[in-house]
């Protein structure tokens, strides 16, 4: 019983942390984008606009829940949940430090990647069930894009697994101990590149934000959603920003390890958060810089550039590893 209570408590704490992250990730994104674009960003609600996102979410919760008359009602109501729930379950398997992780799954890596791909279904479902042409186009784009980029994303983590010899995320981090030259970004730079690009595509963020391309599809798959159902989609999107940034940190940037053994006095969580924030900032930064790709270019890029690089990387890693042994 006490086990159950403590598990529930940790889960609740974790949920609080992630929700807090999402709230302030949105705030940070708006601030960073604002500064990059010669604007101020939110600064009205609360000191320095810190309560802006809270106010936005409250507003969304209070809004009328509109279901279009011609929509497929069941599917329409289900879609945001399908998109949202996996995004939370992913968080459970992420190791933030040696001791701070909720579920130490032996196949943690596989779990994270598998569960996160369920959200695609929610997006396609939402696009289809809305019975709106723009939403349908957005949903179809999302399906094509996310399935295409799942392949290089999965392949790019294979070399890491080969080096670490484990699918447990904690083990992968432990293998990278002892300074930044041990981090997998050094031997696996190409895998890192493929992973980062593919994860940006998985997140539907600029330059791969085609499913919700504002200038073409108005809002894409969530065009008919309003109120808290829309908030669910948004929340899921930012949860995945959280998850993908954490995964990048774990797989390639040494997780909670300090860049130099001399700096080990600083708690691991601090290093984790620093690297994690760096990755998140990078995502914001490219959003402010790059234009959007076209659908055919996007597909071509996944299949003709990322996939061969990922495959080649696996082969080279395998050869080098067997020679060294």
Partner 1 sequence: MAIRTEQLLLNVGPQHPSTHGVFRIVVTIDGETIVNATPVMGYLHRGTEKLAEQLTYTQIIPYTDRMDYVSAMTNNYVLCHTVEKLMQLEVPERAEFLRLIVMELQRIASHLVWWGTYLLDIGAMSPFLYAFRDRERIIHLFNELCGARLTYFYMRIGGVKWDAPEGWLDRVRAFVPTMRAQMAQYDALVSGNEIFLARMKGIGTYDAQTAIAYGLSGANLRCTGVPYDVRTHHPYSLYDRFSFRVPIAHSGDCYARYCVRIAEIHESLNILEQALDVVPDGPIMGKVPRVVRPPEGEVTASIESPRGEIGCTIVSKGKDRPYRLKFRRPSFVNLQILPKLLIGESMTNLVTILGAIDIVVGEVDG
Which residues contribute to the site for partner 1 (CB under 8 A)? 33, 36-39, 133-134, 137, 206-207, 209-210, 213-218, 287-297
Min separation Cβ 68 and partner 1, Å: 16
Taking the C-alpha atoms of residue 135 and residue 139, their distance in angstroms, rounded to an integer, is 6
Nearer to partner 1, 65 or 214 (CB): 214
Complex with partner 1: residue 205 or 275, whichever CB lies closer: 205
**By C-beta, is 54 or 290 nearer to partner 1?**
290
The DSSP output letter for 303 is: I
H runs (alpha helix) in 49-132:
52-62, 73-91, 108-116, 118-129
CA 274 to each of CA 168, 266, 270: distance values in angstroms, whole numbers, following the listed order: 22, 12, 6
Q: Give CA–CA dist 202/120, Å, rounded.
A: 9
Asked whether the beta carbons of 232 and 311 are under 8 A apart, the reply is no
Q: Which regions of the chain does DSSP assign to beta strands (E)?
A: none
From CA 109, how far away is CA 153, in angstroms rounded? 12
Q: For partner 1, which is the closer residue by CB, 39 or 44?
A: 39
Q: Which tokens in the block code for residue 250?
A: 């774990």
* Residue with smaller CB distance to partner 1, 106 or 297: 297
Q: How far is the CB of 213 from partner 1 (least distance, A)?
A: 7
Which residue, among 230, 175, 245, has the nearest Cα to 64 in the 3D structure?
230
Minimum distance from residue 33 beta carbon to partner 1 (Å): 7
Q: Kindly tell me the sign of the dihedral angle through the C-alpha atoms of 98, 103, 108, 114.
A: negative
HSE (side-chain half, CA atoms, 13 Å) at 170: 13
In the complex, least distance from residue 45 CB atom to partner 1, rounded to whole angstroms: 22
Least distance from partner 1 to the Cβ atom of residue 283, Å:
14
Query: Residue 163 or residue 210: which is nearer to partner 1 going by CB?
Result: 210
Nearest-CA neighbor of 286 among 29, 20, 17, 38? 29
Q: Which is nearer to partner 1, 134 or 225 (CB)?
A: 134
Q: Whole-number minimum distance, CB 281 to partner 1, in Å?
A: 16
Whether the bond into 39 is cis, omega within 30 of 0: no
Q: How far is the CB of 69 from partner 1 (least distance, A)?
A: 18
């Amino acid at each position: 019983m006490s086990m159950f209570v403590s598990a529930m408590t940790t889960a609740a704490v974790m949920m609080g942390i992630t929700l807090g992250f999402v709230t302030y990730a949105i705030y940070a994104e708006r601030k960073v984008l604002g500064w990059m674009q010669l604007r101020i960003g939110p600064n009205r609600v609360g000191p320095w606009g810190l309560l802006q996102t809270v106010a936005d979410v409250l507003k969304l919760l209070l809004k009328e829940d509109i279901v279009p008359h011609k929509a497929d009602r069941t599917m329409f109501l289900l879609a945001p949940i399908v998109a949202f729930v996996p995004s939370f379950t992913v968080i459970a398997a992420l190791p933030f430090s040696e001791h701070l992780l909720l579920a130490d799954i032996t196949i943690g890596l596989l779990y994270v990647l598998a569960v996160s791909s369920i959200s695609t279904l929610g997006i396609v479902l939402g696009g289809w069930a809305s019975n709106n042409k723009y939403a349908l186009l957005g949903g179809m784009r999302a399906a094509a894009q996310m399935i295409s980029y799942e392949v290089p994303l999965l392949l790019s983590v294979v070399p890491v697994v080969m080096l670490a010899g484990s699918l447990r995320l904690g083990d992968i981090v432990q293998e990278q101990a002892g300074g930044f030259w041990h981090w997998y970004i050094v031997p696996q730079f190409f895998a890192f590149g493929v992973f980062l690009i593919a994860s940006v595509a998985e997140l539907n963020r600029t330059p791969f934000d085609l499913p919700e391309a504002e200038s073409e599809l108005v809002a894409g798959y969530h065009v008919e959603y309003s109120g808290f159902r829309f908030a669910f989609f948004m929340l899921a999107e930012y949860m995945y920003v959280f998850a993908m940034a954490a995964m990048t940190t774990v797989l390639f940037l040494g997780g909670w390890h300090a860049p130099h053994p001399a700096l080990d006095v600083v708690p691991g969580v601090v290093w984790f958060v620093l690297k994690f924030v760096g990755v998140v900032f990078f995502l914001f930064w490219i959003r402010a810089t790059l234009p959007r790709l076209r659908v055919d270019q996007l597909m071509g890029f996944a299949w003709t550039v990322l996939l061969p690089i990922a495959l080649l990387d696996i082969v080279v890693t395998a050869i080098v590893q067997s020679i060294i042994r």
